[in-house]
């Protein structure tokens, strides 16, 4: 039994009133731990970005920000992850910028997961009637190192000459996965990294497409690794 399975089993035997009393404490300790670790407060709850700590830890461990170039995020949803990337950059690489590519239309992605649910329906359920763009603007207000490119990623152009890191969690259809890979890979500096979310999880078409792309570009790739808990594939471009 894994750790997460064990936790889930314990929760099944804990009365709901007890769980309700514990939740505020868990949120408090999470926020305190996050702030102590990264030097800034986490974004508001229910704004996405739950896996971005794994991204930040990877960037930090690989010294990716020491490379030339800015950062790109394809697919921002509610802006929680954008917030984390931008705040992290402002503390550790003040001269770098986060380019955010998102068309801000939750109906844009109708890819189905293995459970049969469409991504657009999952997004709508998460937002509960809120406007994606309004939530994003609220979460990222005051962050001056982000530049928003409000377009379909197939139509987007990255203004930066070169980028050192990209995080892709946009449209999950294979055609978009291929497009987004090409979009950021062409700008990625040698030694730079692109990360894709939903690898090895409930969108098998994403996993299959990324495996194909890695095979096609194997001579250009120096390293690939997977964060299994967060379903993130990290691909490092070979240094020249």
For the stretch 138-174, pLDDT in tens is 999 999 999 999 999 999 999 999 999 999 999 999 9
Closest by CA position to 195, among listed 173, 219, 168: 168
Question: What's the mean pLDDT in 120-131?
Answer: 95
Name all domains of the chain by residue range, CATH numbers in brackets: 1-38 (no CATH), 39-237 (3.40.50.150)
| Sheet with 221-227, edge to edge strand ranges | 146-149, 98-101, 70-74, 163-168, 188-197, 232-237, 221-227
Strand-strand pairing, 70-74 and 98-101:
parallel
CA–CA gap between residue 123 and residue 138 (Å, rounded): 18
Residue count (the chain)? 240
Could you give the percent of the chain with pLDDT greater than 70? 92
For the stretch 56-110, pLDDT in tens is 999 999 999 999 999 999 999 999 999 999 999 999 999 999 999 999 999 999 9
**What pLDDT shows up at residue 11?**
54
For the stretch 25-34, pLDDT in tens is 888 899 999 9
Helix, strand, coil percent values for the chain (each to nearest 5): 45, 20, 35
pTM for the full predicted model? 0.91
Tokens, residue 24: 């505020």
Please measure the distance between the N-terminal and C-terminal CA atoms of the chain and give it in whole angstroms.
44
């Amino acid at each position: 039994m894994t750790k997460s399975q064990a936790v889930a089993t314990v929760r099944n035997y804990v009365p709901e009133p007890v769980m309700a009393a514990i939740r505020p404490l868990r949120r408090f300790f999470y926020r305190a731990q996050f702030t102590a670790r990264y030097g800034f407060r986490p974004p508001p709850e229910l704004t996405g970005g739950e896996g971005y700590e794994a991204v930040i830890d990877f960037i930090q461990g690989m010294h990716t920000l020491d490379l030339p170039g800015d950062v790109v995020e394809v697919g921002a949803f509610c802006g929680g992850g954008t917030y984390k990337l931008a705040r992290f950059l402002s503390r550790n690489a003040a001269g770098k910028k986060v380019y955010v590519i998102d068309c801000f239309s939750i109906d844009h992605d109708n890819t189905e997961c293995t459970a049969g649910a469409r991504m657009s329906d999952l997004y709508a359920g998460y937002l509960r009637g809120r406007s994606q763009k309004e939530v994003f603007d609220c979460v990222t207000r005051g962050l001056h190192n982000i530049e928003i490119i409000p377009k379909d990623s197939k139509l987007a152009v990255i203004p930066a000459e070169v980028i050192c890191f990209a995080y892709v969690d946009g449209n999950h259809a294979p055609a978009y996965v291929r497009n987004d890979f090409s979009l950021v890979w062409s700008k990625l500096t040698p030694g730079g990294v692109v990360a894709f979310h939903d690898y090895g999880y409930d969108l098998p078409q994403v996993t299959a497409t990324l495996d194909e792309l890695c095979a096609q570009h194997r001579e250009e790739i120096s390293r690939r690794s997977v964060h299994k808990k967060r379903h993130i594939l990290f691909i490092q471009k070979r240094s020249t």
